[in-house]
Amino acid sequence: MTTEFFLLLVIGFFAQMIDGALGMAFGVISTSAMLAIGMPPAHASALVHTAEVFTTGASAASHIYHRNIDWRLVRKLGLAGVLGAVLGAWVLSNVDAAFMRPFVSAYLLLMGIYILFKAARIAPMRDTPAPWIAPVGFGAGFLDASGGGGWGGVTTSTLVGWGHAPRQTVGSVNATEFVVTVAAATTFFVELGAAPLQNLIPLVIGGVIAAPFGGWAVKRVSPRLLMIAVGILIVALALWQLARAFKLI
């Protein structure tokens, strides 16, 4: 086994640990790693989404077992997310959509700051999904497939920012991500062919090993601490992506 194999295995493990516990970051971290080793954006996104078919399935099972799911959120996010993912995968396979990333990063930065503000004030949580959840799911699915990551960042930050309980939000977003990822990966397969196994296998192994811990962790962290962690992660990722977009790093 090569050094690259173990590196990708470690990346898959830690990316999924963060994603399972905080509802975001697997796509962003893994895609960034693929781009760093020289893979084209469309192929990097295709590889990551193929790996996520396995990792999100394991993560969804963990959150279902720990009862972190709000099925109303899943239903509203799921269908819209699938439609957005199919469109986003097709666009990335045929059109350069890189110009959208700075705008998404700016949005995430604002949402992360807002979440930290709400965590400080301990705002009350809502129990009923709002009517704008489907549009959020569509936009997140499109941005995730076209940009190689962002499903969890957009959906988790928006839902938690607007007052949904962090535990159920993270669990529901992770569960819904499975069907969204299957839709994106299938579209990439039709457009670009199968992902290279030498990169796919270590990502899958690392992610599947880490997946069960996410559902366990989010069940035991207090809502306020979870909101703070989500907010800090969103702000950090957004600043990093903005710095890359403007070639500051």
For residues 23-49, average pLDDT = 73
Are 79 and 232 in contact, with CB atoms under 8 Å apart? no
| Mean pLDDT of the region 81-100 | 79
pLDDT band at 6 (very low <50, low <70, confident <90, very high): confident
| Domain locations in the chain as residue ranges | 3-245
Tokens of 208: 């599947």
Q: Is the pLDDT of residue 207 over 70?
A: yes
CA separation (Å) from 55 to 11, 22, 50, 88, 157? 13, 15, 9, 20, 21
Pick 194 or 75 by higher pLDDT. Answer: 75
95: left (phi over 0), alpha (psi -120 to 50) or beta: beta
- H-type alpha helices, the chain: 3-22, 26-36, 41-65, 71-94, 101-121, 133-147, 151-161, 166-192, 197-220, 223-245
pLDDT for 159-190, tens place per residue?
Answer: 877 777 778 888 888 889 888 988 888 888 88
pLDDT at 175: 87
Binned at pLDDT 50, 70 and 90, residue 80 comes out as very high
Average pLDDT over residues 55-60: 82
> Is the confidence at residue 223, as pLDDT, over 70?
no
Instruction: Assess whether pLDDT exceeds 80 at residue 1.
Output: no
Give the pLDDT of residue 128: 47
User: What amino acid occupies position 60?
Assistant: A
In three-state secondary structure terms, 164 is: strand
Is 82 a residue whose pLDDT tops 90?
yes
Question: What pLDDT shows up at residue 47?
Answer: 82
Across all residues in the chain, what is the average pLDDT? Answer: 78
Mapping DSSP to helix (H, G, I), strand (E, B) and coil, where does residue 75 land?
A: helix
Q: What's the pLDDT tens digit per position in 111-122?
A: 678 768 767 765
